[in-house]
Structures are given as C-alpha cells and as structure tokens.
Amino acid sequence: MILYTENHTYKYECEKICRLYYPAERIVFACDTEKAIDTDEKRLYTGIAEKGDILTFSCKAVMNEKESQYSFHWEKDAEDSDSLRERLLAKAMTRVLTDITGIIPPWGILTGIRPAKLMHKYMKEEGSERAAERFMNFFEVSPEKTALALKVAQCEDACIRLSGRNSVSLYVSIPFCPTRCSYCSFVSHSIDKAQKLIPDYIKNLCLEIEETARIMKESSLKLETVYVGGGTPTSFSASQLKTVLDALKKFLDMENVREFTVEAGRPDTIDEEKLKVLKDAGVTRISINPQTFSNSVLEAIGRSHTAEDAVEKYLLARKTGFDNINMDFIAGLPTDTLESFRKTIDKAISLSPENITVHTLALKRSSSIVTENEESSLSDCTVQMTEYANKVLSENGYFPYYMYRQSKSLGNLENVGWCKKDMPCLYNIYMMEEIHTVLAVGGAAVTKLKDPGSDCLQRIFNFKYPYEYITRFDELLQRKKQITEFYASLPL
C-alpha cells in the first residue's frame, strides 16, 4: 500500500489506522500527492487543509478496483492540538477504509495499547457515563468494547489505590525457552543453544538484582510486586531457578510484597522439584500457559507438550500448594476452530484457575507465522472465539481486570485478563496502566520510571541479547544510576 500525506506529519498514526484494516500489508509513504504513482497497488491519500479557523480533513482510497473518499470541516477552538488533529484525520480514514473493506473496527479510531487507561482518564474528569459516551461518540468504539473498557477500569480502581508515592514493582527477565513457538515475536532463546551463556547470565542477573536493591533502599522505594517472566523462567533447572530466587530473597526487602509471580509458562518445563523451589521461595502466583487444549493446534504452533500434559502440571501445582494460578490461551491460532476453541475455554473453566488470560493472535513481523508466509483465515472466527470466551467467563464468575491491545491483532481485538473475585494480578495492572515505576533486571528488560506527580515516564533499556547482557554488563550498571538521579530530582 502506498500512503500519501499532505500538510501533516501524522505518518505513524495513519499507518496504525491502516493496520486496523490491512494488518499484514507493507506500507510505503509518499509525501508528494502531485506525483502520485500510477500503479495497481493500494493507494491511500490523506490531507489536512487549513483556512483561517477552519480545518478540512480529507481521505481518498483507491484499492485496486474500488474507490472511496470523504472530507469534513472542523472549526478550531481552544482544544486544538496535534493529538486532536490526529484523531480527526483518523475519523476521515476510518470512514473511507470501512467503505472500501466493509470492516468496522470494534475499537473505532483508538489505536493505543491501553484503552482502559484512557477510560480511567475520562472517568476521573467526567464520570463513568460521560466517559462511556465519549468512547462511543467521539472515538467510535462499539458499545460492547466500551462496556469492556469500563468494566476493566472499574475493576482496576481498588488495586490502583494500593499504590503509594514510593511504590515500585520489579520485573525479572529470563529470556530463554525450550523452543520458539510459531506465533512468538519476543526476544527469547532456545535453552539448548544458549546453555553455555546461562551460568554467566545468572551471575550477572544476581549482581543486577543486588545493585537494584541497593538503589531501592537508597531512594526509600517500597516494593509492591515481583514478576519473573521471559521467555520461560522454568526453562532453567531447579538449581538455577533457586539461585535467582535466593538472590531476590537475600537482597530485596520482600517483607511487604503483595504479590510474587513466576511464569512457569510451558508445561513441558514444569516438574515437582521446580514447583517446590518456587513454593519454598515464597512465590504466591504462577502461570501455566497451555495456549490451547487442542493437541493438533499445539503441534501446529510448535509446542512439544500435549493438552494432557498441561492438565497434569496444573494439578501438580495445586498439589504443591499453589492457590493462585493463571492460564493463558490464544484465540486465532493456526488450524484452530471455533468448536475446538470453545472446548478449550470450557476445559479451562472446569479446572477453575484464579486467572484466565485470553489473548488474540497478533501477526508480528518476526514470528514464523508471518515470516514463513502462513496465511491466517481466522480473523472472522477469532471475533466469535473472543465473544464466546467473554460470555462464558462472565457467566462463571470471572471479571475482566486488565486489558491491552497489540498492533496487527486478528480482528483488531484485544487481550483480556480475567480473574475470580478479588484475585487480580496486581503487577499486570500496575505495569499496563503505568501506575508506578517498574524496575527491570535481565536481558531485554526495560525499566520504566514513573513520576508519581504526573504522567511523565523515563525508560532505561537493558541490552537485548544475553551475550550483550554478559559482555557489556559494566555499561548496564552505569545506566542504573539514572534511577537514583530520577528520584533525587523529584520534588519532596
């Protein structure tokens, strides 16, 4: 697709709007509409004209044999801003692209990953009823998705109130997996191929935990939640896991930590010894993520475990004493059907985990589903899958407690965490809604420093790959000084 822009600089937002309709399309920008390329490719023209106090937002699409255009006028007022202009241009674009494709994006012109955070903002300013009206009328969000965002925002409120001025969470990154799933775009490395790196990785990780703990104490920060993720942390052996968890207990003040999560993730990495290590370390919440209970779908996505293995490891975790377990599932996986997805959700509910997270497949560029040109015809079916999950989870006593969206998701849908009453994952809420600072350690981890008095965020990036994390560790420790400087600069 060739995307033309005239008299505006909103390329990024225009691209995101196009992705709502053409998630896997290659987009090329051209700024000169006078030299339009004569081609059979899809072409989209966007423009803003300004005359006095009147702005005109225009869009025209030529998609092979189809053509559509729309423009409207807007009188400038005190609220005029780049953000408003972006959204008004998005309105013109969605009108045209919906006419061309017949697709009505359920989230309207919203392209951000945190719709519940935006709902929070308007609820605080205008109240719940007016916030919902704004979502539907201005942002053109469907009534169903508006209601979902409202429920999530309301569920998050009590958890957000637990966070104080000096509250922080800690994310521990273990970017290793047994194998790479076909849908995955995260930075993770095969445990077999990376074995020689692991001893030095763990050594540096423990040193970084120690340094982070020192900085937290120096800055009088209160640790609220700890989340060990990946990758698949249980790719490590029991003794390797114990080394990392022992470092957390030794260096951090875990006395008042409200929640301690470890992603056990892949059932084929879980055994009784590792579960005991987690339990003895004081872990309060784990994830066991089957993604599906269909063996044929598991094979299609490159998983080496069966649905029966997932159930067995879940029951083993219960026997070990874990009373707060999450299970992840994905709607839209290759070869999955509406019938088999329904059976998956029904099976999950029958097991009764405290949290069930339903993701929508995202066609990320670095996943093999995309790079190997595997076509997905599941977009329409995925909508039905998520509708079924939302319905039966609500009927069985689960509440939507957090939500986020990814670009290139099938059907322009969302990922939703569901919980039993009073059992939300605090870390997920604090991280996704950017409530307080999340300090991060390990390869590919990103620290996000949050000013408690504003929405200001400052990021500190760790090195992405394990070999960089090991070889450039001294440089990484120097970056950690930014944490102290950030908190020293805040007003008392």
Could you give all domains of the chain from N- to C-terminal order, each with its CATH number?
A: 1-102 (3.30.160), 105-151 (no CATH), 158-450 (3.80.30.20)
Quick one: average pLDDT of 221-228?
98
CB 120 within 8 A of CB 156: yes
Using CA atoms in the order 264, 269, 275, 277, what is the torsion angle rounded to 10 degrees?
-100
| Pairwise CA distance, residues 348 & 311, whole Å | 9
Show the beta-strand stretches assigned E in 145-292.
Answer: 167-174, 176-177, 189-190, 222-230, 259-265, 285-288
| Region of poorest pLDDT, from 133-142, 169-178, 272-281, 311-320 | 169-178
**Element counts in the chain: helices (H) and strands (E):** 17, 18
pLDDT surpassing 60 at residue 217? yes
For residue 290, the one-letter residue type is P
Strands 167-174, 222-230: pairing kind = parallel
pLDDT surpassing 90 at residue 191? no
Tokens for 54, please give them. Answer: 């009147």
Quick one: average pLDDT of 120-145?
97
CB 200 within 8 A of CB 469: no
pLDDT surpassing 70 at residue 461? yes
pLDDT in tens, 84-114: 999 999 999 999 999 999 999 999 999 999 9
| Pairwise CA distance, residues 416 & 38, whole Å | 43
pLDDT in tens, 402-445: 999 987 788 889 999 999 999 999 999 999 999 999 999 999 99
Percent of the chain with pLDDT over 90: 83
Contacts of 160 (CB under 8 A, 6+ apart): 429, 430, 433, 435
Contacts of 96 (CB under 8 A, 6+ apart): 44, 59, 60, 61, 68, 69, 70
Quick one: average pLDDT of 331-342?
95
pLDDT surpassing 60 at residue 385? yes
pLDDT surpassing 60 at residue 302? yes
| Pairwise CA distance, residues 25 & 68, whole Å | 19
| Pairwise CA distance, residues 400 & 387, whole Å | 13
Show the beta-strand stretches assigned E in 233-338.
Answer: 259-265, 285-288, 325-331
pLDDT in tens, 157-190: 999 999 999 999 999 999 998 766 655 655 556 6
Write the CA distances from 67 to 16, 26, 332, 440, integer angstroms.
Answer: 21, 20, 30, 49
pLDDT surpassing 70 at residue 371? no
The residue ranking higher by pLDDT, 194 or 172, is 172
Using CA atoms in the order 251, 254, 256, 261, what is the torsion angle rounded to 10 degrees?
140
pLDDT at 182: 59
The chain-wide mean pLDDT, for the chain, equals 92
| Pairwise CA distance, residues 42 & 354, whole Å | 46
Q: What distance, in Å, lies between the first and last C-alpha atoms of the chain?
A: 52
pLDDT at 463: 96
| Pairwise CA distance, residues 86 & 81, whole Å | 9
The residue ranking higher by pLDDT, 184 or 288, is 288
pLDDT at 78: 84
pLDDT surpassing 60 at residue 215? yes
Q: What is the DSSP letter of 404?
A: E
Q: What is the DSSP letter of 243?
A: H
| Pairwise CA distance, residues 179 & 240, whole Å | 19
| Pairwise CA distance, residues 68 & 388, whole Å | 34
CB 55 within 8 A of CB 88: yes
pTM of the model: 0.92
pLDDT surpassing 60 at residue 365? no
- For tokens 């600069």, the residue is 489
- Is residue 366 very low, low, confident or very high in pLDDT (cuts 50, 70, 90)? very low
pLDDT at 118: 96
pLDDT surpassing 80 at residue 1? yes
